[in-house]
Amino acid sequence: MNAGLPEVVVILVIVLVLSGARRPPEPARSMGRATGELREGFRVRSEELMEAGKDDAGNRNGG
């Protein structure tokens, strides 16, 4: 699911309203950390799948 610019803006406005205008850096920081952790998880999983594919290819070739 891809969120376009209008959807992202609406989400950010909702977060700003819910968190209060006085403290916008804190939710933004939390969202940034969550995004970083999600990307790291995808990277690790991708590496695991690539390694499993290499192992599987080696087993098929008599390795």
pLDDT of residue 40: 93
Enter the pTM of the model. Answer: 0.48
Q: Which two tokens stand for residue 17?
A: 């309203």
- List the structure tokens of 55: 């192992």
- Predicted local confidence at residue 16, as pLDDT: 78
For residue range 5-52, list pLDDT tens digits in order.
Answer: 888 888 888 877 877 766 667 777 888 899 899 999 999 999 999 988
The C-alpha atoms of residue 43 and residue 29 are separated, in whole angstroms, by: 21
In terms of pLDDT, which residue wins out, 9 or 62?
A: 9
